[in-house]
């Protein structure tokens, strides 16, 4: 089942990306290089900015929550996990610019929306990792006068570093492949997220070969990230 | 005192950031007239709620629910034996199978779905409910197989061995010992899969177009047509199952399952 609906499509798209007019060719990748280099850079940039934003917001809050538990804030942080991607895209669009596309259509607005959605997952993973840190270390540091911010920066973060790294990779690769949020934020012109390009290339131009080549570029970017993730998971 | 102020400030900030965007959905869903540059809708009313609930979206809602039920049943039928096998039996390629079920998580889905859509055209599956069910099953199986494997792993094999010693066959031991013990996990898995299917957008948009529409697709269509009120009403409706699940999980379930939700 999975083979038919997942592995086979991956295989055909990889094959199609190397084929033009029935023969082996790199022409599709040449098209990608010519038309979409800017979008690849843009996608990497937005995903990086959004990942940094996610962790810049959640690390201090989760550190604080680890040191002094506070239910209501923890509950609120989990909320984005339960809001579907499409809804997040639309909600952030009307929140950031209620009328004509303004901030919501900029890369900053997109990064904000992606960070909003992924904050729930990040908080969950971070809190899990922070709660795994032995209380004794925190007590020892507190006895010599460390504040919550110091505890987060100098004890929680370094000790939970592997888990934080895995979370970051997971979130980064999910952002690279995000489709519904950028689609709902409705950005008309200028550089696009890679998945939007794949969608239009396939859906409107009917150009499966180039869409596949774009897809392969995305697979490779995700694979780089997933490699780290899987190694941690099986280790 | 200082701690109290800090707590209040943290709560206010979190509430603004998290609840703010959701509130603006509510405002838009009630705005009958809202034009630039007014900072607030000029006229409030329930007209769009009435229009949406009055019929427009019943069709996609029904389609979506039907698909979600089918996907949940099929995914569990496949995942219960598979999860059991992965948890209990040592067979060659076991790790490989587990990894295979992790791949769709790590891979960008859209290019895969685009390719699947093209294959589906050849078999007349594109634009049909069966096609959408198939594409939902990819994601659903990932959720279901991983949760079911975890659930069966948490049940001690000694219990089944005891049943064997008392003369029960393998099937009997499974059906009357492991299966009832796994029931809470099966329910959790079913809820996750059901919600995943209900909220799934990308695969439905590609495979289902133009004949099969579920609520997320309906919402996207409304938003593209600048019917922001319609889209906002639908968005609020789409949040209901998630909200119910959040409250249920807070009360009953382990947080391990939550991680899977990051992919919804």
Residue B106 confidence (pLDDT): 65
Measured between beta carbons, the chain A residues lying within 8 angstroms of B41 are none
Using alpha carbons, select from B80, B66, B107 the residue that is nearest to residue B202.
B107
Please indicate, yes or no, if residue B208 is contained in any of the structural domains: yes
DSSP letter for each residue of B206-254: IIITTT---HHHHHHHHHHTT-HHHHHHHHHHHHHHHHHHHHHHHHH--
Could you tell me if B112 and B25 lie in one domain?
Answer: no
Could you tell me if B62 and B99 lie in one domain?
Answer: yes
What gap in Å lies between CA A23 and CA A192, rounded to an integer?
30
Could you tell me if B89 and B32 lie in one domain?
Answer: no
* Residue A85: closest C-alpha in chain B: B264
Q: Is the pTM of this model over 0.90?
A: no
Could you tell me if B69 and B200 lie in one domain?
Answer: yes
Confidence at A50, pLDDT banded by 50, 70, 90: very high
> Between A202 and A227, where is the model more confident?
A202
- Cβ distance B78 to A1 less than 8 Å, yes or no, reads yes
Using alpha carbons, select from A43, A12, A16, A42 the residue that is nearest to residue A29.
A16
Measured between beta carbons, the chain B residues lying within 8 angstroms of A227 are none
**pLDDT, tens only, A144-178:** 888 888 888 888 888 888 788 888 888 888 898 88
User: CA angle B74-B77-B79, nearest 5°?
Assistant: 100
Query: Which residues in chain A (191-230) have CB-CB distances under 8 A to chain B?
Result: 195, 198-199, 202-203, 208, 211-212, 214-216, 218-219, 222-223, 225-226, 229-230
Please indicate, yes or no, if residue B140 is contained in any of the structural domains: yes
Name B43's bridge partners: B33
Our CA-based measurement puts residue A118 at a distance from the nearest CA of chain B, in whole angstroms, of 7
Could you tell me if B85 and B124 lie in one domain?
Answer: yes
Residue A201 confidence (pLDDT): 86
For the domain A26-234, what is the CATH superfamily, name and number?
MetI-like (1.10.3720.10)
- Cβ distance B115 to A186 less than 8 Å, yes or no, reads no
Could you tell me if B253 and B199 lie in one domain?
Answer: yes
* CATH assignment at residue B222: 1.10.3720.10
Q: Tell whether A56 lies on the interface with B, counting CB pairs under 8 A.
A: no
Q: Tell whether A176 lies on the interface with B, counting CB pairs under 8 A.
A: yes
Residue A26 confidence (pLDDT): 80
Chosen for mutation from A4, A9, A43 (greatest number of chain B CBs closer than 10 Å) is A9
* Residue B196: closest C-alpha in chain A: A84
* Domain count for chain B: 2
Our CA-based measurement puts residue A171 at a distance from the nearest CA of chain B, in whole angstroms, of 9
CB B99 within 8 A of CB B118: no
> Between A5 and B21, where is the model more confident?
B21
Residue B254 confidence (pLDDT): 53
Please indicate, yes or no, if residue B50 is contained in any of the structural domains: no
Residue A49 confidence (pLDDT): 94
The H-assigned helical ranges of chain A are 2, 8-17, 27-67, 71-78, 85-96, 107-131, 135-143, 148-151, 157-159, 161-176, 180-184, 194-203, 208-234
| Residue B189 structure tokens | 């898995």
Please indicate, yes or no, if residue B52 is contained in any of the structural domains: no
CB B227 within 8 A of CB B27: no
Alpha carbons within 13 angstroms on the beta-carbon side of residue A114 total: 31
Judge whether residue A226 has pLDDT over 50. yes
Could you tell me if B37 and B160 lie in one domain?
Answer: no
Count CB pairs under 8 A between chains A and B. 216
Q: Dmax over Cα atoms in chain B, in whole Å? A: 78
Q: For chain A, what are the domain ranges?
A: 26-234
CA-CA-CA-CA torsion sign (B199, B203, B206, B209) = negative
Judge whether residue A206 has pLDDT over 80. no
Residue B264 confidence (pLDDT): 44
Return the top range by mean pLDDT from A62-66, A125-129, A230-234, B65-69.
B65-69
Confidence at A2, pLDDT banded by 50, 70, 90: low
Could you tell me if B39 and B160 lie in one domain?
Answer: no
Per-10-residue mean pLDDT, chain B, length 264: 79 84 84 74 78 80 92 93 84 75 74 86 85 88 86 84 84 84 86 89 86 88 82 87 80 56 48
**pLDDT, tens only, A51-104:** 999 999 999 888 888 888 778 888 888 888 888 888 898 888 888 877 666 777
What gap in Å lies between CA B155 and CA B186, rounded to an integer?
13
Q: Tell whether B11 lies on the interface with A, counting CB pairs under 8 A.
A: yes
Could you tell me if B131 and B93 lie in one domain?
Answer: yes
3-class SS of residue A24: strand
* Residue for token pair 């603004």: B16
Residue B263 confidence (pLDDT): 47
Average pLDDT, chain A: 83
Residue A152 confidence (pLDDT): 84
Residue B234 confidence (pLDDT): 87
**pLDDT, tens only, B130-168:** 889 988 988 888 888 888 888 888 888 888 888 888 888
Judge whether residue A182 has pLDDT over 60. yes
Range of the domain at B14: 1-45
């Amino acid at each position: 089942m999975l083979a038919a609906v997942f592995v086979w499509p991956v295989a055909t798209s990889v094959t199609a990306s190397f084929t033009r007019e029935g023969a082996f060719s790199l022409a599709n990748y040449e098209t990608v290089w010519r038309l979409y280099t800017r979008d690849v850079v843009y996608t990497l940039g937005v995903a990086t900015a959004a990942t940094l934003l996610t962790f810049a917001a959640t690390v201090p809050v989760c550190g604080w929550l680890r040191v002094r538990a506070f239910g209501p804030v923890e509950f609120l942080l989990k909320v984005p996990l339960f809001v579907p991607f499409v809804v997040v895209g639309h909600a952030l669009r009307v929140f950031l610019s209620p009328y004509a596309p303004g901030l919501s259509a900029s890369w900053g607005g997109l990064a904000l929306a992606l960070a909003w959605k992924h904050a729930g997952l990040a908080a969950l993973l971070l809190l899990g990792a922070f709660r795994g840190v032995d209380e004794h270390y925190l007590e020892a540091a507190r006895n010599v006068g460390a504040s919550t911010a110091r505890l987060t920066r100098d004890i929680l973060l370094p000790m939970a570093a592997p888990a934080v790294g895995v979370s970051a990779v997971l979130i980064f690769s999910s952002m690279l492949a995000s489709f519904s949020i950028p689609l709902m934020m409705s950005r008309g012109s200028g550089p696009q997220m890679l998945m939007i390009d794949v969608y239009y290339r396939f859906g409107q131009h009917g150009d499966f070969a180039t869409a596949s080549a774009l897809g392969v570029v995305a697979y490779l970017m995700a694979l780089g990230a997933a490699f780290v993730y899987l190694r941690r998971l099986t280790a | 005192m200082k701690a109290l102020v800090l707590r209040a400030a943290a709560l206010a900030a979190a509430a603004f950031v998290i609840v703010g965007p959701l509130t603006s959905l509510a405002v838009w869903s009630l705005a009958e007239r809202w034009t630039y540059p007014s900072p607030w809708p000029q006229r409030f009313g329930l007209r769009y709620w009435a229009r949406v609930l009055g019929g427009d979206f019943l069709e996609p809602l029904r389609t979506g629910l039907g698909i979600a039920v089918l996907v949940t049943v099929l995914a569990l039928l496949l995942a219960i034996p598979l999860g059991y096998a992965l948890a209990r039996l040592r067979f060659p390629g076991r790790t490989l199978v587990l990894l295979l079920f992790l791949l769709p998580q790590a891979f960008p889905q859209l290019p895969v779905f685009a390719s699947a859509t093209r294959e589906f055209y050849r078999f007349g599956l594109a634009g049909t409910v069966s096609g959408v069910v198939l594409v939902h099953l990819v994601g659903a199986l990932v959720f279901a197989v991983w949760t079911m494997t975890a659930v069966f792993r948490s049940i001690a094999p000694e219990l089944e061995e005891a049943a064997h010693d008392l003369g029960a066959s393998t099937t009997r031991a499974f059906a009357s010992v492991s299966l009832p013990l796994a029931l809470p996990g099966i329910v959790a898995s079913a809820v996750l899969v059901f919600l995943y299917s209900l909220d799934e957008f990308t695969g439905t948009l590609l495979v289902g177009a133009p004949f099969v529409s579920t609520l997320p697709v309906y919402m996207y269509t409304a938003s593209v047509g600048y019917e922001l009120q319609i889209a906002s009403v639908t968005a609020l409706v789409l949040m209901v199952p998630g909200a119910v699940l959040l409250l249920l999980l807070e009360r009953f379930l382990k947080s391990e399952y939550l991680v899977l939700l990051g992919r919804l």
